[in-house]
Amino acid sequence: MIEAAKQKKFQIIFCKSQSRFTRDMEPVEKYIHGLFPIWGIRFIAVADNADTEVKGNKKARQINGLVNERYLEDLSENVRMVFDLKRRGIPNPTRYKAERGWACNHPIKNDFGLWNKVTVGRILTNEMYTGVMIQGRRRKVSYKSKVIIDTPEDQWYQVEGTHEAIIDRATFQAVQRGLKLHTRTDGTGETHLLAGLVKCADSGSKRLCTRHSVRLNQLIDLISERIRYYVQTYYQLDPKDLQPQKDTHREALEQEQKSLTTQLEKRSQALKTLYLDRVAGILSEGQFVELNQSFLEAQSPRNVLTVPPRGALCHKDTGQAI
């Protein structure tokens, strides 16, 4: 938007409030009071009655900027206070031992008993908390050396249920999946599909980099376009896949219906011939009655097959559309 404003592609920036544009005083002075008038851009904030075309409105905009910046500062302090309250205040093992006068081989590096991220990471990946005994993670290079190296996971000794678990297996596995992706949720508890998969083009890092970004919708559009390109380039669709699937069962019913209809037409013609033979005296009355009854039974509705319209439901016994 700033680049488009600089190129004078529009004349007005319309916001709900000045805070929607910025809460810092520096951008207020730089853009609203500095560059926007030069670029011919009118800035309007409805809720604050801020309008750069109204004379005498500048002080009101500056006051709004100070209030918004102060609000941002208060919000930051409140969030920090909440996080401080959420911390249980449990000291790290070294501090814990020192407070109880226990022998400790590690010096206390700080007075707050803060946890080292390496220690926290080791705890989060320790499967022993799920009730599994694990031995043989590390070993000496040789009996003559004090050097200890890590052993591959397939060489560990693992025994299930050796002690009571303090964390369930499902939770532990969920933590492991999160650690592999290095993801953070957006506050809803749901991890985004691209979380942990996007890297900086400059540094190649997923997290540790200078502050620069790209809009999520643009990234999703770019990935979608790339996927379509790969599908069109490397996947050849078989023309047979484009042909509609035939309903073989329905075709069989239709063929059977045609056959029965043909038979009924032939029997109807036979009845006419039978009647003419009776009139001509070729058949006796008894013969006519017997043959006529036989034809009528063959022509009864229960012997007629009805094929329902496509998509219709049929009665399991009668075959009629419901």
Domains of the chain by residue range: 2-86, 108-209, 251-303
Q: Is the distance from CB of 127 to CB of 172 less than 8 angstroms?
A: yes
pLDDT band at 165 (very low <50, low <70, confident <90, very high): very high
Which value, to the nearest 10 degrees, does the dihedral of the CA atoms of residues 175, 177, 183, 187 take?
Answer: -60
User: What is the spatial distance between Cα 272 and Cα 265, in angstroms, rounded to a whole number?
Assistant: 11
Distances (CA, A) of 20 to 47, 68, 149, 200: 10, 10, 55, 28
312 has pLDDT over 50: no
- What's the Rg (C-alpha) of the chain? 42
User: What is the spatial distance between Cα 104 and Cα 94, in angstroms, rounded to a whole number?
Assistant: 7
pTM over 0.85: no
More confident residue, 189 or 136: 136
Q: Please state, rounded to an integer, the average pLDDT across all residues of the chain.
A: 78
pLDDT band at 308 (very low <50, low <70, confident <90, very high): low
Can you tell me which residue has the tokens 């190129």?
7
More confident residue, 46 or 263: 46
pLDDT value at position 57? 83
In 90-162, at which residue ranges do the beta strands (DSSP E only) sit? 132-135, 138-140, 148-150, 157-160
Tens-digit pLDDT profile for residues 274-306: 677 766 777 677 776 777 777 666 655 554 445
138-140/42-45 β-pairing: unpaired
pLDDT value at position 237? 67
240 has pLDDT over 60: yes
Single-letter code of the amino acid located at 114:
L
User: What is the spatial distance between Cα 297 and Cα 309, in angstroms, rounded to a whole number?
Assistant: 27
Q: Which of 22, 28, 52 is nearest to 40 (CA)?
A: 52
Q: Is the distance from CB of 168 to CB of 198 less than 8 angstroms?
A: no
Q: Is the distance from CB of 72 to CB of 23 less than 8 angstroms?
A: yes
Tens-digit pLDDT profile for residues 129-161: 999 998 888 888 887 888 888 888 888 888 988
**How does 133-159 read in b/e, with b if 16+ C-beta sit within 10 Å?**
eeeeeeeeeeeeeeeeeeeeeeeeeee
321 has pLDDT over 70: no
pLDDT value at position 88? 77
Q: Of all residues in the chain, what percent carry a pLDDT higher than 70? A: 76
pLDDT value at position 315? 47
Q: What region does 181 belong to: left with phi over 0, alpha with psi -120 to 50, or beta? A: alpha
Superfamily the domain 2-86 falls into = Resolvase, N-terminal catalytic domain (3.40.50.1390)
Can you tell me which residue has the tokens 């508890």?
189
Helix runs in 87-156, H state only? 93-99, 117-124
SS3 category, 44:
strand
Q: Is the distance from CB of 132 to CB of 159 less than 8 angstroms?
A: yes
pLDDT band at 262 (very low <50, low <70, confident <90, very high): confident
Range of lowest pLDDT (127-136, 147-156, 236-245, 256-265):
236-245
More confident residue, 293 or 95: 95
